[in-house]
Amino acid sequence: MAQTTAFVGVNVIPMDRERVLTNQTVIVRDGKIAEIGEVGKVKVPKDAVMVDAKGKYLIPGLVDMHTHLLSDDDAYPDTIAPDELRVMVANGVTTVRFMIGTPELLKLRSQSASGEIVAPTIYVASPHLTGREQGNNFVVKSLDEARDAVRKSKAAGYDFIKVTTFVPGLVYEAAVDEAAKIGIRVVGHADSRFVGVERAWKAKQQIEHLDGYIELLLKTDAPMKGSVSDLYIYNPENWKSFDYMDESKIPDIARKTVASNRFFDPTHHFMKNSFGRLRTEDEMRAQPDFKFYPAKVQAQWFDFYKRNRFINTVPLEKRARWVELREKLIKAIVDAGGKMLAGSDTPEFLWLYGFGLHHELKALKEAGVSNYTVLAAGTRNAHEFFGTLDKIGTVQKGKQADLVLLNANPLDDISATKNRAGVMLKGTWYTQAELDKWLDEIAPKIAGSYVEKH
Ligand SMILES: [Zn+2]
């Protein structure tokens, strides 16, 4: 179906560089941006669906670089996956990277590409390489196992090799070597006790979560080597390391990061608001995404926050200091020329995909960078990382028409990404009223699909 759409009178934020083109007409045809120009200078075809976009702001579709589905887990059926993907679209998220691969996600990737389902453009990292069994993984303890896992992942069609925790350094190096040989990139954690950031830098890995970075800030004469990255966050002992932090190391760390791999994905909101400043139960209940979770899961998370030893023993000031250091790292890496990516790490901890990406944009802004830098993280930088920026990721003639129409200017206030008039996915226009209806219909379906594991 060849649909032509015309956005008339719109302010375009093309994201090729920092600028706003006012009072434009944007014509979309066959899934692509066919024309952009000043109102009156661009002819609107007779058959075009007109979108009155006067005074509104058009940005590229948003990208979540770190997410998962509830249906990755056995507790939810695979049949809810298309609805989960629609929740993302309804929030303006038009491209996603799933960070722990499954065969089901590969199938969804091709169903999305062929137009069989209404879904974002999908990238899928491999099942994660880990040193200990954790589900949807390759447990790699030897060099051969590591090379084998990499080859199998590439053959299965995964887009990246994902590494998480407990992988011995030499085993990691074998995985990296094999990945380079067969042409697939390595992304993920840099377990501070096993791999370490320095080794990950050498491998030019794209690092998630600023994993291992807080350990780099330890004073040389600190009585411990460990700190709170990754799963080590849960041990209150590790929080003693905050008496030995050396901030003056940050500029050098930032330079080395950019020299290794300019792209970094701090998943800062997830860290800050799951472990730093904690929500009250009332705040969780008030979230618009709360109703997508079954009562049982809501109760489990309430319980987690009540009982967790780290949550209940580490003082708020220490956790605030951790957040502050993370924000200084983010700012320094950006200042050194780093390209930030926006990852929500949803849907754990009662933060749902789609909604979570907007939290991440806000959190990145709180690190002290510009709104343009944040918007680039949530749009074009991801496509630059994927190597597809010539086809998608900016509002320019010839690009794939993944667009979000906002009621306010996100370069003034990044929270404008939550104030949407509608979303265009691969050239098909949906008003936000329609999308909100989807969300209302889908919430009870997802919550009701949950089957408790035995
Ligand atoms: Zn994750």
CA distance 29 to 430: 15
- Between CA 29 and CA 34, with CA 30 as vertex, the angle to 5 degrees is 35
Query: For residue 454, what pLDDT band results from cuts at 50, 70 and 90?
Result: low
Beta strand 4-12 with 21-29 is antiparallel
CA dist., res. 288 & res. 283, Å (int):
10
Count of CB atoms within 10 A of residue 434's CB? 12
Phi and psi of 7, rounded to 5°?
-90, 120
The three-state secondary structure class of 43 is coil
Is residue 310 very low, low, confident or very high in pLDDT (cuts 50, 70, 90)? Answer: confident
Other CB atoms within 10 Å distance of the CB of residue 295: 9
Ligand 1 centroid distance, CA of 4 (Å): 38
Q: Ligand 1 centre and the CA of 384: distance in Å?
A: 21
pLDDT class of 160 with cuts at 50, 70, 90: very high
Rounded (10°) CA dihedral 298, 300, 301, 306:
130
CA distance 164 to 138: 10
Q: Ligand 1 centroid to 55 CA: how many Å?
A: 37
pLDDT at 12 over 70: yes
**Residue 3 reports pLDDT greater than 90:** no
CA 257 to ligand 1 center in whole angstroms: 21
pLDDT of amino acid 132: 96
Distance (angstroms) between ligand 1 centre and the Cα of 129 equals 13
Ligand 1 centroid to residue 59 C-alpha, Å: 26
* φ, ψ of residue 271 in degrees (nearest 5): -70, -50
Cis ω for the linkage preceding 347 (within 30 of 0):
yes
Handedness of CA 313, 317, 320, 321 (dihedral sign): negative
Distance 66 CA to ligand 1 centre (A): 6
CA 429 – ligand 1 centroid, Å: 30
- The rounded mean pLDDT for the chain is 97
Interval 235-254 mean pLDDT: 96
**71 CA to centre of ligand 1 in angstroms:** 14
Dist. CA 373 → ligand 1 center (Å): 23
What DSSP designation does 265 have?
B
Mean predicted confidence (pLDDT) in 434-440: 98
Task: Please tell me the number of Cα atoms within 13 Å of 214 on its side-chain side.
Answer: 28
Domains of the chain, first to last: 4-59+401-430 (2.30.40.10), 61-277+309-386 (3.20.20.140)
For residue 112, report the distance from its CA to the centre of ligand 1, in Å: 21
What distance in angstroms lies between residue 40's CA and the mean position of ligand 1's atoms? 47
DSSP 123-158: EEBPSEEESS--SSEEE--SHHHHHHHHHHHHHHT-
In 3-state terms, what secondary structure has residue 34?
strand
- In this structure, the dihedral spanned by the alpha carbons of residues 367, 368, 373 and 375, taken in order and rounded to 10 degrees, is 60
H/E element, 354: none
Q: Ligand 1 centre from 135 Cα, in Å?
A: 13
**Helical residues (DSSP H) of 242-315, grouped into ranges:** 250-260, 268-271, 281-286, 295-307, 309-313
Contacts of 332 (CB under 8 A, 6+ apart): 250, 251, 253, 254
Euclidean distance between CA atoms 381 and 325, whole angstroms: 24
Q: How far is the CA of 420 from the centre of ligand 1 (A)?
A: 27
Query: How many angstroms is it from 98 CA to the middle of ligand 1?
Result: 8
For the segment 268-281, the average pLDDT, to the nearest whole number, is 94
Amino acid at 312: N
Q: Give, in order, the Cα–Cα distances in Å from 307 to each of 18, 25, 86, 283.
A: 46, 55, 34, 18
* AA letter at 238: N
Q: Distance from the CA of 450 to the center of ligand 1, in angstroms?
A: 20
**323 CA distance to ligand 1 centroid (A)?**
19
Ligand 1 centroid to Cα of residue 68, in Å, is 7
Per-residue pLDDT, averaged over 60-65, amounts to 99
CA angle 120, 123, 124 (to 5 degrees): 125
CA of 83 relative to ligand 1 center, distance in Å: 20
Q: How far is the CA of 216 from the centre of ligand 1 (A)?
A: 22
CA atoms of 149 and 163, how far apart (whole Å): 11
436 closest CA partner among 119, 89, 117: 89
Asked whether residue 164 carries a pLDDT value surpassing 60, the answer given is: yes
Q: What is residue 311's predicted lDDT score, i.e. its pLDDT?
A: 79
Determine the pLDDT at residue 152: 98
Residue 36 three-state SS? strand
pLDDT band at 1 (very low <50, low <70, confident <90, very high): low
Calculate how far, in angstroms, residue 156's C-alpha sits from the geometric centre of ligand 1.
Answer: 21
What is the whole-number distance in angstroms between the Cα of residue 45 and the centre of ligand 1?
45
Q: What is the CA radius of gyration of the chain?
A: 22
For 328, the 3-state DSSP assignment is helix
Listed residue (445, 448, 438) closest to 87, CA to CA:
438
Instruction: Give the Å distance between the CA of 20 and the centre of ligand 1.
Output: 34
Separation of alpha carbons 52 and 8, rounded Å: 6
Nearest to 213 by CA among 185, 247, 166: 247
What's the whole-number mean pLDDT along residues 225-247?
A: 95
pLDDT above 90 coverage of the chain, percent? 96
Residues in the chain: 454
Residue-wise pLDDT for 38-52, tens only, equals 999 999 999 999 999
What's the 53 CA to ligand 1 centre distance in angstroms?
36
Q: If you measure from the C-alpha of residue 67 to the centroid of ligand 1, how many angstroms do you get, rounded to a whole number? A: 6
Using alpha carbons, select from 8, 13, 7 the residue that is nearest to residue 28.
7
pLDDT band at residue 2 under the 50/70/90 scheme: low
- Which residues are CB-contacts of 79 (< 8 A; sequence separation ≥ 6)? 71, 449
pLDDT at residue 192 tops 80: yes
CA triple 359-95-138, angle to 5 deg: 90
Average pLDDT over residues 244-265: 98
Say how many Å lie between the CA of residue 134 and the centre of ligand 1.
13
